[in-house]
Amino acid sequence: MTNVKMKVNGKEVSREVPDETLLSEFLREQLRLTGTHIGCDTSQCGACAVHVNGKVVKACTALAVSLDGADVTTIEGLANGELHPMQVAFNDNHGLQCGFCTPGMIMAGVDMVNRYKAEGRDLTSDAIRHELEGNICRCTGYHNIVKSIEDAAAKM
Amino acid sequence: MSSGIGKSVKRKEDKRFTTGKGRYTDDHRMDNQAYAAFVRSSHAHATVKGIDATAAKGMPGVIDVLDGHQLTGDGIGNIICGWAITSKDGSPMNMGAWSALATEKVRYVGDAVAVVIAETQAQARIAAEAVEVDYEELPVVAHVLDAMKDGAPQIHDNAPGNQIYDWELGDEAATDAGLADAAHVTTLDITNNRLSPNPMEPRSAIATYDDAEEHYTLYTTSQNPHVARLVLSAFYNVAPEHKLRVIAPDVGGGFGAKIYIYPEEITCLWASMKTNRSVKWTSDRSEAFLTDAHGRDHVTHAKMGFDADGKITGFKIDTIANLGAYMSLFSSSVPTYLYAPLMSGQYDIQNIHCNVRTYYTNTVPVDAYRGAGRPEATYLVERMIETAAREMGMDPAELRRRNFVQSFPHQTPVLMQYDAGDFPKILEMAQEAADVAGFEARRKEAASRGKLRGLGYSTFIEACGLAPSKAAGSLGAGVGLWESAEVRVNPVGSIEILTGSHSHGQGHETTFAQIVAERFDIPVENVQIVHGDTDKVQFGMGTYGSRSGPVGMSAVVKAMDKVEAKVRKIAAHTLEASEDDIEIKGGNVSVKGTDKSMAWHEVGLAAYVAHNLPDGMEPGLKETAFFDPVNFSFPSGAFICEVEVDPDTGETKIIKFTSADDFGTIINPMIVEGQVHGGVAQGIGQAMLEQVVYDDDGQLLTGSYMDYTMPRAADMPFFDVQHHETPSPNNPLGVKGCGEAGAIGAPPAVINAITDAIGTNDLAMPATPQAVWRALRSASKPIAAE
């Protein structure tokens, strides 16, 4: 057992957890932040994507104890009063159906827009499709997810 | 009204999903919750000689270890198949026994023999590894063509030769005569590859037993919670129906995989009683590959005859279907009544005969997956006609046109009476949108870059909204196929719709609200949809087979008819007018041509305060209805796929995918298009990427996302979706259903396009780069000769 302290969605949290605890388990079971979803056991699907120190990370691939002192944002912490433009864009463009992959898609989408903007690169639909390599959706055929991210990129 | 029928209203449910506030089964946590982990067979076929749980029971956190002998000893019944099929010799199907926890034998890798209940999930999983099972291995048969061989290992004692049934539909003699008279006969051997549905949310169940009330609550990832409750109580004996509440909360995709009752739900309910704890089980993805019902898995030999004008003279089909190790809830219906009746496609074919033999194998049970039988039928029909066109040197679109059904209703020789459609018009729409006229120029341009372009069609029809109950019952169905709804107008005028349909991504909370908003001319925000809880909704048959529109919405309409009748009576009484002069419009209930009017909410209030109702009228404004459709609805469409193949690598890129479809009346075009996108993606997945693979020992080789290729964003094009509406006369809204069309229609369009590009028809799904490359090499004599 190790004591882990981190900032999650702007709040300091501290928990005593088994060393093998994944960040996804830490968020879901310790903090009851169930917006981070678990869709596979091989880090392939991306439903658990969150931001760690401002970069997208699959929460099922990181051990909580390795993130002592980290600043973590989950889907619950993305909206700051009003919905984030990425959340609005997913609603506007019908970028979700069952909603299970959606938190991971949104967190991945925000990260890719931020990176491309920081690097001054154009986030084309081809680039979005390439960037979504690590996120699986079974409902939408990706058509409207790509459109949602394109739309949000124009507004972020 | 901006939120009524035909408007792309943004989804009401999205806010909770985009903010992480969706509540799927695994997100719920009960007081006193323990966790289940299943002890699963690592052998595909073995006798269970003994189970030693001594070590596991002593491990940290372990509450109990339970096995199949205890389960059956407590009177828990075997898992059933809900559709009885009769073989053509009159004998009933051979259904082998399936216990939720195996006792004497295991029959597939993943078959559960015991369950560990522990304080944490990790403790349960670790202890499950420590349960020692003494297996004596038996010979394995993993592939259906091996299962039917003489001397094949026997999987169930009561299924000689592993055959479950040998069934037929249609007139064999007439079909043989039609083929004998044909000017041209096309013969095709075709495989429909085995798939795993893979909803992104893994299956999960939480069972809670209240010993004071002797009452059970089950949270579960179900597409049909009432059916689950009925089957769990009436057949498995885990709890009486009135002492069992089943809740299917937010469900992260179904695609058929969550229709059935699985061993885990039965076991968790029973274990909650045994341990007096809430018992939670959540599948991981590897477990999902091992235990979620798979789809498809057919091998077919077929012949289609044509006269000199290209008119189809006969269609003869011989199909062998793999149903896995046990018969799942609907498995028997998929290769029979959901398959053979679609063999007429969009074509006027007088003579059809379809023979289907099904077999057990040592693999996970096979059941309905998105489309269920209709994709298998469509793949065959549309590959057949495209192949025939090439063999006869005809334009494949022209051959289709010559055979299209032209008038409706149309009776096929295989049970179906098509309701409405306009097949030539829809094909024309697709051809225009796909710019078929410009294809040859694009093919030449691609050739100049060393690439192979191909164009493939699929003009498909499907049957949605299984119906009517009486007919289904006469064909062996174990359930009725109606839907129920309750419309509650509250005293403040807001409306709750309680529906037996279940939404797991289809957007019912929006579309069901739209039909109510349209009817009573109130804002969509004032309508709330309630579903997925057997304690709230009176009854329901759930969501599968695109039934929520044609059947579920129709039940809502029927209940609204009753509500409207009462609203008219109350308003007529209050406003001292004739009921016939009452109109409901703009948020008011008014007398036509006068200024006499009540606000909508005043009618609701009047019904509940009951101070001034017509004599004898019951207070309240809430009505229920059951709707049993008179027939299926028949969505149809034309898909055109254009691909480019790199002959050096076999890599295939979809350049453009066009769909023109007819779903009857469209409630919400945005949502309908989303359903098409998703369905087409699953169809492209089947055509190009996905396949469940077992080795000869019955070991699953595709047991994770590392080795089962799920379609990703870069594998998909943007889809061009067109609509043409011919309303169905079989339900009050004229809707037909749209959820499965993409998965049904896309595979043949893709394979027809790739085979067109590479110039050989010898290509099976999935058309991976290697498969395409091999097909190209085998088709090219100079290369093959090297």
* Number of neighbours of residue B276 by Cβ within 10 angstroms: 13
Q: Which of B250, B713, B719 sits opposite A129 (nearest CB)?
A: B713
- Chain A partners of B206 at a C-beta cutoff of 8 Å? none
Q: How far apart are CA B459 and CA B639, in angstroms?
A: 6
- Asked casually if ipTM beats, i.e. exceeds, 0.95, the reply is yes
**Nearest CA-CA distance, residue A118 and chain B, Å:** 23
Question: Do the Cβ atoms of B288 and B202 come closer than 8 Å?
Answer: yes
pLDDT of A141: 97
The partner residues of B319 in beta bridges, in order of sequence, read B300, B356
The answer to whether the CB atoms of B505 and A101 lie below 8 A apart is no
The answer to whether the CB atoms of B19 and A142 lie below 8 A apart is no
The answer to whether the CB atoms of B719 and A146 lie below 8 A apart is no
For residue B198, the chain A residue with the least C-alpha distance is: A138
Q: How far apart are CA B728 and CA B738, in angstroms?
A: 13
Q: Which H or E element spans position B54?
A: helix B54-57
The answer to whether the CB atoms of A34 and B705 lie below 8 A apart is no
Q: pLDDT tens for residues B645-682?
A: 999 999 999 999 999 999 999 999 999 999 999 999 99
Percent of chain B with pLDDT over 70: 99
The answer to whether the CB atoms of B250 and A143 lie below 8 A apart is no
- Chain B partners of A18 at a C-beta cutoff of 8 Å? 122
Check if B15 contacts A (Cβ < 8 Å).
yes
**In this structure, which amino acid lies at residue B325?**
A
Helix (H), strand (E) counts: chain A: 6, 5
| Mutate: best of A63, A84, A100, A146, partner B, most B CBs <10 A | A100
Check if B284 contacts A (Cβ < 8 Å).
yes
Q: Which of A32, A94, A141 sits opposite B719 (nearest CB)?
A: A141
Q: How far apart are CA B754 and CA B746, in angstroms?
A: 12
- The pLDDT of B64-77, averaged and rounded, is 97
For residue A132, the chain B residue with the least C-alpha distance is: B713
Q: Identify the CA nearest to B403 among candidates B370, B427, B380.
A: B427
Q: How far apart are CA B574 and CA B597, in angstroms?
A: 9
User: Could you report how far apart the first and last alpha carbons of chain B are, in Å?
Assistant: 70
Contact residues for B699 (Cβ-Cβ < 8 A; gap 6+): B44, B109
Question: Do the Cβ atoms of B626 and B484 come closer than 8 Å?
Answer: yes
pLDDT of B786: 35
Cα dist from A135 to A56, B542, B710, whole Å: 12, 29, 10
Alpha-carbon Rg of chain A, whole angstroms?
Answer: 15
The answer to whether the CB atoms of A142 and B716 lie below 8 A apart is yes
For residue B26, the chain A residue with the least C-alpha distance is: A34
Check if B628 contacts A (Cβ < 8 Å).
no
Check if B120 contacts A (Cβ < 8 Å).
no
Q: Please report where in the chains the tokens 């099904």 appear, as a residue.
A: B358
The answer to whether the CB atoms of B285 and A143 lie below 8 A apart is no
**Nearest CA-CA distance, residue B706 and chain A, Å:** 7
**Nearest CA-CA distance, residue A24 and chain B, Å:** 13
- The pLDDT of A24-49, averaged and rounded, is 97
B3-7, B58-62, B91-95: which range is least confident on average?
Answer: B3-7
Strands A55-58 vs A49-52: parallel, antiparallel or unpaired: antiparallel
- Chain A partners of B23 at a C-beta cutoff of 8 Å? 34
Check if B253 contacts A (Cβ < 8 Å).
yes
DSSP secondary structure string, B513-568?
HHHHHHHHT--GGGEEEE-SBTTTSS----S-TT-IIIIIIHHHHHHHHHHHHHHH
Q: Is the pLDDT assigned to residue B783 strictly greater than 80?
A: no
- Chain A partners of B286 at a C-beta cutoff of 8 Å? 41
Q: How far apart are CA A98 and CA A136, in angstroms?
A: 13
For residue A130, the chain B residue with the least C-alpha distance is: B714
Q: pLDDT tens for residues B674-715?
A: 999 999 999 999 999 999 999 999 999 999 999 999 999 999
CA B345, distance to chain mean position in Å, is 19
Q: Is the pLDDT assigned to residue B352 strictly greater than 80?
A: yes
Return the ∠ at Cα B404 (arms to B400 and B409), rounded to 5°: 160
- Chain A partners of B200 at a C-beta cutoff of 8 Å? 37, 39, 45, 47, 98, 100-101, 136-139
Q: pLDDT tens for residues A103-137?
A: 999 999 999 999 999 999 999 999 999 999 999 99
pLDDT of B782: 44
- Helix or strand or coil: residue B63? strand
Q: pLDDT tens for residues B17-64?
A: 999 999 999 999 999 999 999 999 999 999 999 999 999 999 999 999
Q: Which structure tokens are listed for B322?
A: 């793999």
- Chain A partners of B26 at a C-beta cutoff of 8 Å? 34, 38
Q: Which structure tokens are listed for B698?
A: 């019955």
Q: pLDDT tens for residues A52-66?
A: 999 999 999 999 999
Q: Is the pTM of this model over 0.80?
A: yes
pLDDT of B780: 56
Residue B204 phi/psi, 5-degree rounding, is: -155, 150
The answer to whether the CB atoms of B285 and A140 lie below 8 A apart is no
Q: Is the pLDDT assigned to residue B467 strictly greater than 90?
A: no
Residue B775 phi/psi, 5-degree rounding, is: -60, -40
Q: Which of A45, A130, A141 sits opposite B716 (nearest CB)?
A: A141
Confidence of residue B374 (pLDDT cuts 50, 70, 90): very high
Q: Which of A90, A133, A139 sits opposite B505 (nearest CB)?
A: A139
B residues 663-702 lying closer than 8 A (beta carbon) to A: 670-671, 673-675, 677-682
Confidence of residue A51 (pLDDT cuts 50, 70, 90): very high
For residue B680, the chain A residue with the least C-alpha distance is: A141
Cα dist from B575 to B587, B598, B602, B619, whole Å: 16, 8, 12, 18
Check if B283 contacts A (Cβ < 8 Å).
no
Cα dist from B81 to B111, B329, B468, B733, whole Å: 17, 4, 20, 33
Question: Do the Cβ atoms of B303 and B126 come closer than 8 Å?
Answer: no
Strands B622-627 vs B636-645: parallel, antiparallel or unpaired: unpaired
Q: Which H or E element spans position B783?
A: helix B781-784
**Nearest CA-CA distance, residue A119 and chain B, Å:** 22
Q: Which structure tokens are listed for B83?
A: 């559709």
Q: Taking the CA of residue B591 as centre, how many other CA atoms within 13 Å lie in the half-sphere pointing to its CB? A: 14
The answer to whether the CB atoms of A101 and B200 lie below 8 A apart is yes
Return the ∠ at Cα B30 (arms to B27 and B34), rounded to 5°: 100
Return the ∠ at Cα B255 (arms to B744 and B715), rounded to 5°: 65
Say which DSSP state A27 is in. I
Q: Which of B21, B506, B671 sits opposite A35 (nearest CB)?
A: B21
Q: How far apart are CA A118 and CA B445, in angstroms?
A: 38
Check if B61 contacts A (Cβ < 8 Å).
no
- The pLDDT of B184-196, averaged and rounded, is 98
pLDDT of B430: 98
Q: How far apart are CA B315 and CA B304, in angstroms?
A: 4
Question: Do the Cβ atoms of B201 and B253 come closer than 8 Å?
Answer: yes
Q: How far apart are CA A134 and CA A152, in angstroms?
A: 19
Q: Which of B27, B285, B286 sits opposite A34 (nearest CB)?
A: B27
The partner residues of A3 in beta bridges, in order of sequence, read A16
SS3 content of chain A, % helix, strand, coil (to 5): 40, 20, 40
Question: Do the Cβ atoms of A139 and A97 come closer than 8 Å?
Answer: yes
Q: Is the pLDDT assigned to residue B129 strictly greater than 70?
A: yes
Q: How far apart are CA B721 and CA B673, in angstroms?
A: 7
List the B588-591 sheet strands across, edge first.
Answer: B582-585, B588-591, B597-599
Taking the CA atoms of B130, B133, B139 and B145 in sequence, report the sign of the dihedral they define: negative
**Nearest CA-CA distance, residue B22 and chain A, Å:** 7
Percent of chain B with pLDDT over 90: 96
The partner residues of B117 in beta bridges, in order of sequence, read B36, B64
pLDDT of B785: 35
Furthest-apart CA atoms within chain B: distance in Å: 94
Question: Do the Cβ atoms of B745 and B637 come closer than 8 Å?
Answer: yes
Q: How far apart are CA B27 and CA B216, in angstroms?
A: 19
Question: Do the Cβ atoms of B387 and B213 come closer than 8 Å?
Answer: no
Q: Which of A33, A37, A41 sits opposite B286 (nearest CB)?
A: A41
- How many CB contacts within 8 angstroms connect chain A with chain B? 184
Q: Which structure tokens are listed for B586?
A: 């703009």
Residue B609 phi/psi, 5-degree rounding, is: -75, -30
Q: Is the pLDDT assigned to residue A47 strictly greater than 80?
A: yes
The answer to whether the CB atoms of B255 and A138 lie below 8 A apart is yes
**Nearest CA-CA distance, residue A43 and chain B, Å:** 9
Q: Which structure tokens are listed for B496?
A: 């709750």
Say which DSSP state A34 is in. T
Q: Which structure tokens are listed for B398?
A: 């022209």
**In this structure, which amino acid lies at residue B489?**
V
A103-117, B355-369, B740-754, B772-786: which range is least confident on average?
Answer: B772-786
| Mutate: best of B18, B196, B204, B654, partner A, most A CBs <10 A | B18
| Mutate: best of B8, B14, B126, B203, partner A, most A CBs <10 A | B14
**Nearest CA-CA distance, residue B671 and chain A, Å:** 7
- The pLDDT of B238-251, averaged and rounded, is 97
Q: Which of B11, B680, B712 sits opposite A136 (nearest CB)?
A: B712
For residue A35, the chain B residue with the least C-alpha distance is: B20
For residue B285, the chain A residue with the least C-alpha distance is: A40
